[in-house]
């Protein structure tokens, strides 16, 4: 019921009060933006940090300048006002970043929004991966067939991600061959994975369809899933990976080091 200026001022005061509850909070520049895109009305709210840098003018004079660090913003929320008004029961009208600098940072922002997480994108994508693996198990597919199915799923999901579209289970099901009399949509529905009809793709989770990756203890590994059992072998009893045929650039480094080089 308020105009945009009055609303933004009142909301900024509310945000300041929430920030005051946390001793670590440094504040920043608060951005409110209302805009329309493809006939949908949005409200964008962000807390941005400012950074110092140097500027050179046409006379080659150097001076200090300040800029907003938009590329590293991690306190951002977007409200789909159209969805909120037309479908009050929706859990999908608020999109936000969880924050990379600690759970408490996102907590104060969620308190400010008076919001709770109603839809977990990563959980949906993990559920999809589990459904795909179980689907292959149910069909008793061999290794190559399993990987072919995973690649089909990854290709479809990646195309949706690149296009800025969500994963649609119905469309994905049509990409995969049925198991007996059941297609993937029927299988996932009957097995109770609680997958939504549509949900956003999560790049990091979907990458597990075609690759193995992990890091820790000074080791970082990343390899195509097809190589497991062919060039890369894992012994679960000893927790040992055996790699046959190392990449040329890695092999060159190992040879130089073993021969006393630096």
Write the DSSP assignment of 134-150 as a string of letters: HHHHHHT--HHHHHHHH
Paired strand residues for 125: none
pLDDT value at 185 more than 80: yes
Q: Which helix (H) or strand (E) holds 78?
A: strand 76-80
120 three-state secondary structure = coil
pLDDT value at 58 more than 70: yes
Can you tell me the mean pLDDT for 8-30? 81
pLDDT in tens, 208-244: 888 888 888 888 888 888 888 889 999 999 999 999 9
Q: Is-contact 25 108, C-beta < 8 A?
A: yes
- On average, the pLDDT of the chain sits at 85
Measure the CA dihedral 75/43/82/92, to 10°: 0
The pLDDT score that the predictor gives to residue 26 is 66
Rounded-to-integer distance, Cα 138 and Cα 157, Å: 22
pLDDT in tens, 80-94: 999 999 988 887 888
Residue 230: count of CB within 10 angstroms of its CB: 11
The pLDDT score that the predictor gives to residue 262 is 53
Place of tokens 């994905």: 172
pLDDT tier, 25 (very low <50, low <70, confident <90, very high otherwise): low
Rounded-to-integer distance, Cα 198 and Cα 190, Å: 17
pTM of the shown model: 0.64
Distances (CA, A) of 85 to 41, 42, 90: 10, 11, 10
Q: Is-contact 152 176, C-beta < 8 A?
A: yes
176 three-state secondary structure = coil
């Amino acid at each position: 019921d308020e105009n945009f200026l009055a609303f933004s001022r009142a909301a900024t005061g509310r945000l300041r009060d929430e920030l005051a509850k946390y001793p670590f909070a440094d504040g920043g520049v608060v951005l409110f933006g209302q805009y329309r895109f493809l006939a949908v009305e949005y409200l964008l709210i962000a807390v941005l940090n400012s950074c110092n840098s140097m500027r050179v003018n046409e006379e080659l004079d150097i001076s200090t300048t300040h800029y907003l660090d938009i590329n590293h913003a991690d306190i951002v929320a977007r409200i789909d006002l159209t969805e909120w008004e037309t479908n009050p029961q929706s859990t999908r009208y608020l999109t936000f970043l969880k924050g990379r600098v600690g759970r408490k940072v996102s907590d104060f922002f969620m308190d400010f929004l008076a919001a709770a997480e109603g839809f977990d994108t990563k959980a949906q994508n993990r559920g999809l991966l589990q459904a795909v693996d179980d689907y292959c198990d149910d069909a008793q597919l061999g290794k190559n067939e399993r990987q072919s199915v995973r690649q089909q799923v990854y290709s479809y999901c990646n195309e949706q991600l690149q296009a800025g579209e969500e994963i649609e289970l119905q469309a994905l099901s049509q990409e995969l061959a049925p198991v007996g009399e059941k297609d993937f949509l029927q299988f996932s529905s009957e097995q109770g994975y609680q997958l939504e009809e549509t949900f956003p793709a999560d790049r990091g989770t979907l990458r597990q369809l075609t690759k193995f990756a992990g890091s820790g203890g000074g080791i970082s590994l990343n390899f195509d899933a097809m190589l497991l059992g062919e060039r890369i072998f894992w012994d679960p009893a000893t927790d040992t990976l055996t790699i046959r045929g190392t990449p040329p650039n890695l092999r060159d480094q190992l040879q130089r080091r073993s021969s006393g080089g630096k």
